[in-house]
Amino acid sequence: MFRYFLRLSAAFILLLGGCAVFSAKPAPQPRELSVLTSPTPAPSPTPSPATTPREFTLVAGGDVLPGCWLDSYLESHGQDYPYTAIAPIFQSASIGLVNLECPLSRRGLRYRKKKFTFRAKPAAAAALYRAGINAVSLANNHMMDFGPMALFDTMDALDQAGVASAGAGANLSEARRPACIYLPGGGFIALLSYSLTYPSAFWATAKRPGTALARIPYLQEDVSSAAAWADLVVVCFHWSGELLTHPRAYQMQYGRTAIDAGAKLVIGTHPHILQGMEWYHNGLIVYSLGNLAFGGGRSRRAVHSALVKISFDKTGNLLAAWTLPLTVDNLATRFVPAPLSGPPAEVVFQMLRRRSQAWDTRFLLEDSGWARILPPLGGSSGK
């Protein structure tokens, strides 16, 4: 309702004055409040220490595109189809987070100045929620493929499904506002999302809907502002180049800036393949998680991916982190990402070790099939 009122107000100002100017500074309060459901009864508004969770977990995955090549499978098997093998993992966590790589809408005009444009049906939002994915980043290079109308449809579909979203909006101020996620039992999480990918026409301005462009001053202000009221700040970036195995220098600058400003976790997407992971000042930077349920093609170069699982205490301190290798070889899996084990899993772990070598990040395989992500022996990196 607030978003609808904002759009009507903006349109009214434009009609009256001809040029409305919106402040680029984000509002002090979050854009929305999302209450995540729990299998246990909802707590009282002021939970006692006995009912407040001692810790909670977040599971993050990479790019999700529930359309295009996936459409025929979804028509035959339903919207829940691509999450068959991974839904139990997300459902076991307090928060399931991915990058939503397309608008969820049947409306809008196709942006014709780029080679690939994507979209999926609004029903995909409820399927995400059923799969345990209850938070998404929207700041990417496909969210505006079908214009503002499709963006607003997407945000509305996510809201109705109970999926928190951040990184896009009716103007820059709204796009920069964090989604506020309330954990049953107490605690607030702020989710921020930024794009560092073209086309620039997709970036929101004071008067134009779109995605939040990452700039260092924005990042520092937004994260520190959110850290003042949230127990945990998570920042998502859509950055780097497709199929790049190692992060560029600016990725390290932005990721570390987010941690320095108060974030505890940074999740990167866009390369479609895995990049390394860095412990930095008691925070974790995951430079790229690759694809997840991605209906955009059948690339032979984007066949491995991973999930990360992070445990936090009730005040947002990062307790432990793990990663689980996945196969996302769409030719073999028919668009159903699945966990790997045995020698195929070790291939992915070795890849992560090589790509994380610059920060001396360690990966210790556990009996569960997950590998513990460990900082350098001397502590977090700061190279």
- State the pTM of this model: 0.87
Q: Report phi then psi at 308, rounded to 5.
A: -120, 145
Element (H, E) at 160: helix 147-161
Q: What is the pLDDT of residue 135?
A: 98
Indicate whether 10 pLDDT > 70: no
Q: For residues 133 and 34, which has the higher predicted lDDT (pLDDT)? A: 133
The model's confidence at residue 299, banded by pLDDT at 50, 70 and 90, is confident
Distance of CA 321 to the CA centre of its chain: 17
Cα-based angle 102, 106, 108 (whole degrees, multiple of 5)? 80
Strands 265-269 and 210-211: unpaired
| pLDDT band per the 50, 70, 90 thresholds, residue 314 | confident
Cis peptide before 199 (omega within 30 of 0): yes
Residue 5 domain-assigned (yes or no): no
Read off the pLDDT band of 383 (50, 70, 90): low
The CATH number assigned to the domain holding 232 equals 3.60.21.10
CA 185 to chain centre: 23
Residue 23 predicted with pLDDT over 50: no
Dmax of the chain from CA atoms? 66
Mean pLDDT confidence for 250-278: 98
118 pLDDT higher than 60: yes
**Residue in the structure block whose two tokens are 């930077």:** 285
Q: Residues 218-245: what's their mean pLDDT?
A: 96
Task: Give Cα separations from 134 to 30, 68, 75, 312 (angstroms).
Answer: 17, 22, 23, 17
What integer pLDDT is reported at residue 298 of this predicted model?
A: 84
Q: What is the pLDDT of residue 28?
A: 35
Give the pLDDT confidence score for residue 373 in this predicted structure: 98
Average pLDDT over residues 160-169: 97
Is 42 a domain residue? yes
Question: Cα–Cα distance between 144 and 215 in angstroms, integer?
Answer: 19
pLDDT value of position 379 = 73
Q: Is residue 9 part of a domain?
A: no
Domain-located, residue 89: yes
Structure tokens at 298: 């059948």
Q: Which of 126, 58, 137 is nearest to 98 (CA)?
A: 137
10 lies in a domain?
A: no
Whether 382 is covered by a domain: the verdict is no
Contact 161, 124 (CB under 8 A): no
Structure tokens at 153: 């449809």
> Range of 68's domain?
24-374
DSSP summary character for residue 42 = P
d(CA 95, CA 253): 27
In a domain, 146, yes or no: yes
pLDDT in tens, 179-197: 999 987 788 999 999 999 9
**Number of domains present in the structure of the chain:** 1
pLDDT at residue number 21: 23
Reply yes or no on whether the pLDDT at 127 is more than 50. yes
How far CA 55 is from CA of 5, 49, 164, 232, 364, in Å, comes to 37, 12, 20, 12, 22
pLDDT digits (tens, 9 = 90+) for 317-345: 999 999 999 999 999 999 999 999 999 99
The mean per-residue pLDDT over the stretch 264-276 comes to 98
Task: Compute the mean pLDDT over every residue in the chain, rounded to the nearest whole number.
Answer: 88
User: Residue 13 falls within a domain, yes or no?
Assistant: no
Q: What is the pLDDT of residues 49-88, one digit of tens each?
A: 444 456 899 999 999 999 999 999 999 999 999 999 999 9
